[in-house]
Amino acid sequence: MPNAIKVFVKYVDKVNWALGLVVMYMIFVIMGILFWSSISKTFFLPSLWTLEMAQFTMVAYYMLGGGYSMQINAHVRMDLLYSRWKPKKRAFTDTLTSFCLVFYLCVLLYGGYSSTEYAIQYGEKSYSSWAPKMWPIKVIMDIGIFLMLLQTIATFFKDLAKARGVPITDDPEDEEALV
């Protein structure tokens, strides 16, 4: 593989790895928000912001963690025949499915960008009684989709290299492709 591809894969992996390690702790933020929600509903006046803020935090957790999830193979995979295949055949199949995922993520990013642009231009707010601005969470969603797209492209190159029998990273999992 050309050196530019190796550098691209290396940096995309590093960015998604670092972001994933930070974002995984957002689950505690969500728990704190929901804990405060239950306390405030029981002992005080219910907070208007808690449910929606927990939802926004969950969206950020999910969207920003997508690239990390893909990188460590923690995503859902339908496995009827896949586990029985040799590593090179699995890698080849993964290169084909990456095309579908890249197309899907490009369409999603286009729609997300359009929606974010609308939210910023018209000051879109949620229809709840709290009525927060929608653009911050939409920007976070766009960033998450973009990082997932970059990770998908990096994974495509890693799988292509595995299918050819020449891994491009030092990952021990890539070494199994040579067997």
**What gap in Å lies between CA 53 and CA 126, rounded to an integer?**
11
Averaged pLDDT, 24-35: 95
pLDDT band at residue 177 under the 50/70/90 scheme? very low
User: pLDDT digit string (tens) for 131-152?
Assistant: 999 999 999 999 999 999 999 9
How is residue 178 written in tokens?
């040579």
Where does the chain have alpha helices with state H? 3-23, 26-43, 50-64, 66-71, 87-122, 135-164, 172-175
pLDDT band at residue 172 under the 50/70/90 scheme? low
Question: Per this entry, what is the length of the chain?
Answer: 179
What pLDDT, on a 0 to 100 scale, did the predictor assign at position 171?
Answer: 63
What pLDDT, on a 0 to 100 scale, did the predictor assign at position 145?
Answer: 97
Residue type, 81: L
pLDDT band at residue 27 under the 50/70/90 scheme? very high
Q: Which residue has the tokens 């728990």?
A: 31
Distance of CA 132 to CAs 31, 124, 127, Å? Answer: 20, 9, 8
**Percent of all residues in the chain with a pLDDT value above 90, rounded to a whole number:** 67
Burial of 78 (0-12, 13-18, 19+ CB in 10 A): exposed
**What gap in Å lies between CA 172 and CA 14, rounded to an integer?**
16
Averaged pLDDT, 94-103: 92
Averaged pLDDT, 99-113: 96
How is residue 22 written in tokens?
């930070």
Q: Is 73 left (phi over 0), alpha (psi -120 to 50) or beta?
A: left
pTM as predicted: 0.87
Secondary structure class of 125 (helix, strand, coil): strand
> CB of 91 within 8 A of CB of 162?
yes
